[in-house]
Chains A and B, each alone.
Chain A
Amino acid sequence: MASFAAAFADVAPIEQDDGPAPVCAIAYAPEYARLMGFFRAILESNERSPRVLELTAALAEHNAAHYTVWHVRRECLWALASNDASILTDELRYSAEVARENPKNYQIWYHRRALVEKIGQAAAADELALISTALRDDAKNYHAWSNRLWVLKTYGGWAGELEFCTALLDADVYNNSAWNHLYQVKAQLGCDPVEEVRSTLERLNHARENESAWVYALAFAKSDERAAAALLAHCEGAEGVRSQMALVELLKTSDPGRASTIARRLAELDATRARYWRRRAEGLGNGT
Chain B
Amino acid sequence: MDDLGAMNYSLTLLEQEECESVCARFLIDDFSTVPAAQLAQMRREGLLDEENRPRLMREKHVQYLRKGLAGLSGGFVALDASRPWLVYWIIHALDLLEALDDDAEIKQRCISTLRACRAEGAFGGGPRQLAHLAPTYAATLALCCIGSNEAFETIDRPALYQFLLSMKDASNGFRMHDDGEVDVRGTYTAIAVAALTNVLTPQLVEGVAEYAASCQTYEGGFGGEPGVEAHGGYGFCAIATLCILDACHLVDLDALDAWVARRQTSIEGGYQGRANKLVDACYSFWQGGTAQLSAHARRGDPHHIEAPQGVRWRPGTTSADVPAATPIQEIVDPIKLQRYILLCAQVFPDGGLRDKPGKGRDYYHTCYALSGLSASQHPDCTAPATVSGSPANLLPRTHPAFNCRPEKVSRMLDHFSGLPDL
Q: Which of A21-29, A48-56, A85-93, A120-128 contacts B (4 or more CB under 8 A)?
A: A21-29
Query: Is the pair A23, B87 in contact by a Cβ cutoff of 8 Å?
Result: yes
Whether B264 sits at the interface, judged by CB under 8 Å, is: yes
Query: A212: which B residues are within 8 A, CB to CB?
Result: 275-276
Query: Is the pair A211, B276 in contact by a Cβ cutoff of 8 Å?
Result: yes
Q: Out of B68, B217, B223, B329, which one reaches A24, CB within 8 Å?
A: B68
Query: Is the pair B71, A140 in contact by a Cβ cutoff of 8 Å?
Result: no
By beta carbon, the residue of chain A nearest B132 is A67
By beta carbon, the residue of chain B nearest A39 is B128
Query: Is the pair B331, A275 in contact by a Cβ cutoff of 8 Å?
Result: yes
Query: Is the pair A184, B227 in contact by a Cβ cutoff of 8 Å?
Result: yes
Per-residue contact bits, chain A 169-212, to B (CB 8 Å; 1 contact, 0 not): 00111111100110110000000000000000000001111111
Q: Kindly provide the distance from the CB of A258 to the nearest chain B CB, expressed in whole angstroms.
A: 18
Query: A64: which B residues are within 8 A, CB to CB?
Result: 78
Q: Kindly provide the distance from the CB of A254 to the nearest chain B CB, expressed in whole angstroms.
A: 17
Per-residue contact bits, chain B 208-225, to A (CB 8 Å; 1 contact, 0 not): 000000000111100111
Query: B178: which A residues are within 8 A, CB to CB?
Result: 71
Whether A234 sits at the interface, judged by CB under 8 Å, is: no
**B:293-322 near A, CB below 8 Å:** none
How many residue pairs link A and B with beta carbons under 8 A? The number is 208
What bracket does the count of chain A residues touching chain B fall in?
35 or more
Q: How far is the CA of A209 from the CA of B262 in the complex (A)?
A: 13
By beta carbon, the residue of chain B nearest A14 is B128
Query: Is the pair B80, A174 in contact by a Cβ cutoff of 8 Å?
Result: no
Query: B220: which A residues are within 8 A, CB to CB?
Result: 215
Q: Out of A14, A32, A149, A183, which one reaches B218, CB within 8 Å?
A: A183
By beta carbon, the residue of chain A nearest B115 is A19
Query: Is the pair B10, A149 in contact by a Cβ cutoff of 8 Å?
Result: no
Query: B229: which A residues are within 8 A, CB to CB?
Result: 142, 145, 176-177, 180-181
Query: Is the pair A17, B127 in contact by a Cβ cutoff of 8 Å?
Result: yes
Query: Is the pair A180, B124 in contact by a Cβ cutoff of 8 Å?
Result: no
Whether B336 sits at the interface, judged by CB under 8 Å, is: yes
Query: Is the pair A145, B228 in contact by a Cβ cutoff of 8 Å?
Result: yes
Whether B325 sits at the interface, judged by CB under 8 Å, is: no
By beta carbon, the residue of chain A nearest B126 is A16
Query: Is the pair B124, A68 in contact by a Cβ cutoff of 8 Å?
Result: yes
Given known contacts A21-B112, A64-B78, A174-B12, is B218 in contact with A275 (CB within 8 Å)? Answer: no
Q: Kindly provide the distance from the CB of B268 to the nearest chain A CB, expressed in whole angstroms.
A: 10
Per-residue contact bits, chain A 96-119, to B (CB 8 Å; 1 contact, 0 not): 000000000010011001100000
Whether B109 sits at the interface, judged by CB under 8 Å, is: yes
Best-surrounded residue of A14, A18, A153 (most CB of chain B within 10 A): A18
Best-surrounded residue of A18, A26, A181 (most CB of chain B within 10 A): A26
Given known contacts A110-B180, A274-B333, is B128 in contact with A176 (CB within 8 Å)? Answer: no
Query: Is the pair B8, A176 in contact by a Cβ cutoff of 8 Å?
Result: no
Query: Is the pair A208, B3 in contact by a Cβ cutoff of 8 Å?
Result: yes
Query: Is the pair A275, B86 in contact by a Cβ cutoff of 8 Å?
Result: no
Q: Kindly provide the distance from the CB of B261 to the nearest chain A CB, expressed in whole angstroms.
A: 4
Whether A20 sits at the interface, judged by CB under 8 Å, is: yes
Whether B162 sits at the interface, judged by CB under 8 Å, is: no
Whether B130 sits at the interface, judged by CB under 8 Å, is: yes
Whether A130 sits at the interface, judged by CB under 8 Å, is: no
Whether B380 sits at the interface, judged by CB under 8 Å, is: no
Query: Is the pair A180, B333 in contact by a Cβ cutoff of 8 Å?
Result: no
Query: Is the pair B77, A62 in contact by a Cβ cutoff of 8 Å?
Result: yes
Q: Out of B12, B70, B258, which one reaches A175, CB within 8 Å?
A: B12
By beta carbon, the residue of chain A nearest B329 is A279
Whether B90 sits at the interface, judged by CB under 8 Å, is: yes
Query: Is the pair B274, A140 in contact by a Cβ cutoff of 8 Å?
Result: yes
Query: B127: which A residues are within 8 A, CB to CB?
Result: 16-19
Query: B125: which A residues are within 8 A, CB to CB?
Result: 66-68
Query: A184: which B residues are within 8 A, CB to CB?
Result: 227
Whether B170 sits at the interface, judged by CB under 8 Å, is: no
Q: Kindly provide the distance from the CB of B125 to the nearest chain A CB, expressed in whole angstroms.
A: 7
Q: How far is the CA of A20 from the CA of B113 in the complex (A)?
A: 8
Query: A211: which B residues are within 8 A, CB to CB?
Result: 262, 275-276
Q: Kindly provide the distance from the CB of B267 to the nearest chain A CB, expressed in whole angstroms.
A: 9
Query: Is the pair A63, B81 in contact by a Cβ cutoff of 8 Å?
Result: yes
Given known contacts A21-B112, A23-B110, A142-B224, is B181 in contact with A65 (CB within 8 Å)? Answer: no
Query: B104: which A residues are within 8 A, CB to CB?
Result: none
Query: Is the pair A71, B177 in contact by a Cβ cutoff of 8 Å?
Result: yes
By beta carbon, the residue of chain A nearest B363 is A24
Per-residue contact bits, chain B 3-40, to A (CB 8 Å; 1 contact, 0 not): 10010111111000000000000000000000000000
**A:27-73 near B, CB below 8 Å:** 27-29, 32, 40, 43, 62-68, 71
Q: How far is the CA of A32 from the CA of B127 in the complex (A)?
A: 15
**A:150-174 near B, CB below 8 Å:** 150, 153, 171-174
Query: A80: which B residues are within 8 A, CB to CB?
Result: none
Query: Is the pair A273, B113 in contact by a Cβ cutoff of 8 Å?
Result: no
Per-residue contact bits, chain B 227-256, to A (CB 8 Å; 1 contact, 0 not): 111110000000000000000000000000
7 nearest interchain CB pairs? A174-B12, A219-B218, A19-B116, A276-B331, A180-B229, A176-B275, A276-B261
Besides A75-B179, A271-B333, 20 other A-B contacts (C-beta < 8 A): A19-B127, A26-B72, A32-B77, A32-B80, A43-B128, A62-B77, A64-B78, A66-B129, A146-B223, A149-B228, A150-B225, A172-B9, A172-B11, A172-B12, A206-B3, A206-B8, A211-B275, A211-B276, A215-B220, A276-B258
Could you list which residues of chain A lie within 8 angstroms of chain B, going by C-beta atoms?
A: 14, 16-29, 32, 40, 43, 62-68, 71, 74-75, 106, 109-110, 113-114, 139-140, 142, 145-146, 149-150, 153, 171-177, 180-181, 183-184, 206-212, 215-216, 219, 270-276, 279
Please name 20 pairs of A and B residues whose Cβ atoms are closer than 8 Å in the assembled complex, sorted by A.
Answer: A19-B127, A20-B112, A23-B109, A26-B76, A63-B77, A65-B78, A68-B81, A75-B179, A110-B180, A146-B224, A172-B10, A173-B8, A175-B276, A180-B219, A219-B218, A272-B333, A273-B333, A275-B329, A276-B332, A279-B329
Could you list which residues of chain B lie within 8 angstroms of chain A, going by C-beta atoms?
A: 1-3, 6, 8-13, 68-74, 76-83, 86-87, 90, 106, 109-110, 112-113, 115-116, 124-130, 132, 176-181, 183, 217-220, 223-225, 227-231, 257-258, 261-262, 264-266, 269, 274-277, 329-333, 336
